[in-house]
Amino acid sequence: MRRLLAFCLIGLSLAIGPFHEAHAQAARRAETGQLAPQRPGQTDVYILSFGLWGPQSVFESEARGAARILEAQFDGKGRSIVRVNTKRRAGAMPQSLMAAAAAAGRVLDPAEDIVVLVLTSHGGPDGIGLVAGQDALLVTPDNVRELLDRTRAEHRVLIVSACYSGIFARKLADPRTLVITAAAANKPSFGCRDGATWTYFGDAFFNKALRGEPNLDAAFEKARRLVTERETREGFDPSNPQIAGGEQVLERLKEACRTTPVQQAGGPARSAPC
């Protein structure tokens, strides 16, 4: 695990090319397919989930798994976009990420709906890595702010599963932007093994806590306890996951859960379980 952390930091120290220049032309192309339209009078949740580090399959697996669970909890079927880099394919380059954010922005109601952005990768003190083949970029909090702004959503959730990801909470959290991170700004996180299904934080938050607790703040508290117990048991210095901001977002999500009908198989519609 410590060797993987060293690999992460070496990769980020070699990151080249500014994010904003890479997407300047291609971001105009819609390459995201069709998203379900927003429903007037109802708070819809749009999900963007990006696995950025191609050399290790855990980030693809985590991005896809996170999107599935978020869709299920927030009635997001047809309202999610997943983009990933793999060992063979560059699917989550800046142009495709910006195009995905713009696609969400074209269909959602900025004042009514919510965007959830999930980023999973290796991280360093200044941001997280985007690696596909020979291309390597550093994605900073300013870059992520640009992605969020491109969606036009006034209420946003950012979830970053990476080492040192607390920097995103420190720089981006505000009352309408909820930020959840796998680690504090000065701490590594763990579980980034090629072939794994989840990182430690992804397993605790998405796979365990969020399946049974759709309130994001309550799910985070359960996940923080689970991941800290696991890290301590395995001899790691705890990563200290962070949550910040989002007071207005959390209230909006709870209201959405109270009013969104969920159809049970073979039974009548009911409110979501929040």
pTM score:
0.88
Each residue of 30-65: b (16+ CB within 10 Å) or e?
eebeebeebeeeebbbbbbbbbbbbbbbbbbbbbeb
> pLDDT tens track of the chain, all 274 residues?
443 443 444 344 434 345 554 444 444 444 445 899 999 999 999 999 999 999 999 999 999 999 999 999 999 999 999 999 999 999 999 999 999 999 999 999 999 999 999 999 999 999 999 999 999 999 999 999 999 999 999 999 999 999 999 999 999 999 999 999 999 999 999 999 999 999 999 999 999 999 999 899 999 999 999 999 999 999 999 999 999 999 999 999 987 766 555 443 344 444 444 5
The answer to whether the CB of 5 falls within 8 A of the CB of 129 is no
**Exposed, middle or buried, 10 (CB in 10 Å: 0-12/13-18/19+)?**
exposed
Asked if residues 183 and 241 have their Cβ atoms less than 8 Å apart, the reply is yes
- C-alpha dihedral sign at 125, 95, 190, 3: negative
Euclidean distance between CA atoms 82 and 66, whole angstroms: 10
What per-residue confidence (pLDDT) applies to 259? 58
Domain boundary assignment for the chain? 2-28+43-259
Rg, the chain, Cα only: 17
Domain covering 2-28+43-259: architecture: 3-Layer(aba) Sandwich (3.40)
